[in-house]
Structure 1
């Protein structure tokens, strides 16, 4: 029977960086189950007054960041999945946790030299009823390390 699971982002269920196959799963599901996964914005620290609630602040304060820049929720174990199996996932719906978010133009990658290796941060407000966002803060940061 198909189940619906909820996986909140907490200090017990998130890691900074990447998945490692030695980690114990934070949730076990059957093939065909649905999972409502809470994903966090790894740029929340750029505007904590808008992008933090108590749970996000605790994650930033407690979860070690020694493995990378992204906050990931999981891992999830699928019962009876074997090596070389294909796991299909479909995103059915997305909804913001908060009415603010952020985006970044990175200071690395193929186009970074075209933008003078400046990182631009955009903080925006979400209007969930209209399904649109409005930029409210924009900023540029000049990166000193040109080898990145």
Structure 2
């Protein structure tokens, strides 16, 4: 099975992040514009401070009656998120996401934020890997690709 670095090579290392002083409204606007379900919160030096997801929005803002235009993202972000390194296996990521009920994993290499993977990225990688294995087996059995 592959490594996190394999996913990042395929999707790129683009990381969408905001400062903790941004309003929740602005963060949600960015998430909608980029069609993403999670946003990383970083300081001015790019150090990871937390993560904000659609789940945080629903549970920590809407259900508590707070206003997205008056609340700073730093107030409701999940601090110290679970992270992985580029060398973690896809299988380990899948186990972590399943066991901890999370859908996004920031990727940190030697203390530097280098990307983020989602459960969708993990599933897509596994499906592509399995498709390749099936094609190889078909070639082995029949002598040609279907």
Give your verdict on TM over 0.5: no
TM-score range, shorter chain: under 0.3
Q: Of Structure 1 and Structure 2, which has the larger fraction of its residues in helix?
A: 2
Under a length normalisation based on structure 2, what TM-score does the superposition of the two structures give? 0.21
Q: Which has the higher strand share?
A: 1
